[in-house]
């Protein structure tokens, strides 16, 4: 049983069992799901999600997903709730209880207490005929035929189904709210994900050097400018307008093609009509332009005037890649 072949087979069986269970969830979506989504959407309060054991872990993840997509949510452990944490639930909050069986002792104690407070309740359960299923306002059926565990004991397929049901809730609410990538960025300002959503070219190029020469600048001075500004490139500018670009590659090609470059000027070796972006361009869009054109730098302009350079290395350093 410890051979590579048997391990791979068990892994495949687990994935197939869970994927089949998830696929079947689409057949269990009823009007209760739609009504639950509308209840949360129209609520003036938060979503309080509770559970125990592995369901509590899933509840935490669903809370995180809802919070990051515009639906204020908090987690309340079912066991802690009946020992003081019930005060987390405010008047207008909607409560979601997660339980595979719907019949755990903690749920049986907790549910009547919530009902007494008149809060609306939603169940995510694998047993819609359970105590929980019969007591709540709406049931989201997360039934699975069996766990991926060979003993049909360890919560595997059932917790995956709960998680998927929570994601379905979150995405429906996201769509109803018209939640955009800009909204998403407000909740994810840190890390590479946040930077992809809010970082603009000007945030990077404004701290870089601004290498520039005129068309009449000698090749020697062009090389000095490129070396001094350490961006591997210089803009060729006349009256603050970009007329071309000279890169390290242009210098190498010049050296390969010419034995005497003492009389050459920037105008002779530059590439005309270089790719450029404005400072307001999203950094991730600048990266796409670089990748599409197989280049490592973009010139930046504002109102038709040269404003700087953004380099591929800048994007790497910021974690955009």
Q: How is the beta sheet containing 276-278 ordered, strand by strand?
A: 276-278, 297-302, 305-311
Place of tokens 């019949």: 103
For residue 77, say whether it is annotated as part of any ligand binding site. yes
Question: 3-class SS at 293?
Answer: helix
The one-character DSSP state at 27 is G
Q: Containing H/E element for 7? A: helix 4-25
CA separation for the pair 69, 186 (Å, rounded): 10
Question: CA angle at residue 317 from 314 to 321, to 5 degrees?
Answer: 90
CB-based contacts of 115, cutoff 8 Å, min separation 6: 121, 135
The DSSP element (H or E) to which 235 belongs, if any, is strand 233-238
Residue 126 has φ and ψ, to the nearest 5°, of -90, 0
The answer to whether 157 and 17 have CB atoms below 8 angstroms apart is: yes
Binding-site annotation, residues: 77
Binding-site annotation, residues for Zn(2+): 77
């Amino acid at each position: 049983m410890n051979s590579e072949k048997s391990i791979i087979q068990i892994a495949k069986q687990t994935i197939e069992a869970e994927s089949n269970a998830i696929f079947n969830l689409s057949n269990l979506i009823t009007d209760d799901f739609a009504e639950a989504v509308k209840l949360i959407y129209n609520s003036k309060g938060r979503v309080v999600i509770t559970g125990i054991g592995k369901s509590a872990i899933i509840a935490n993840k669903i809370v995180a997903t809802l919070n990051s997509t515009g639906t204020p949510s908090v987690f309340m452990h079912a066991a802690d709730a009946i020992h003081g944490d019930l005060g987390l639930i405010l008047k207008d909050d909607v409560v979601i209880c997660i339980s595979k069986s719907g019949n755990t002792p903690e749920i049986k104690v907790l549910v009547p207490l919530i009902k007494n407070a008149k809060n609306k309740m939603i169940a995510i359960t694998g047993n819609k005929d359970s105590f929980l299923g019969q007591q709540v306002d709406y049931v989201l059926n997360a039934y699975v035929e069996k766990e991926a565990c060979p003993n049909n004991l360890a919560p595997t397929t059932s917790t995956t189904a709960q998680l998927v049901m929570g994601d379905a809730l979150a995405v429906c609410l996201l769509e109803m709210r018209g939640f955009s990538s800009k909204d998403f960025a407000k909740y994810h300002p840190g890390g590479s994900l946040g930077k992809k959503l809010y970082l603009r070219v000007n945030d990077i190029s404004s701290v870089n050097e601004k290498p520039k020469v005129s068309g009449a600048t000698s090749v020697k001075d062009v090389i000095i400018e490129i070396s001094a500004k350490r961006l591997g490139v210089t803009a060729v500018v006349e009256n603050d307008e970009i007329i071309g670009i000279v890169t390290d590659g242009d210098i190498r090609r010049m050296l390969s093609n010419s034995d005497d470059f003492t009389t050459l000027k920037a105008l002779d070796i530059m590439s005309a009509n270089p790719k450029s972006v404005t400072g307001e361009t999203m950094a991730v869009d600048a990266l796409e332009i670089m990748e599409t054109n197989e280049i490592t730098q973009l010139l930046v302009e504002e109102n038709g005037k040269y404003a700087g350079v953004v380099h591929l290395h800048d994007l790497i350093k910021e974690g955009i890649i």
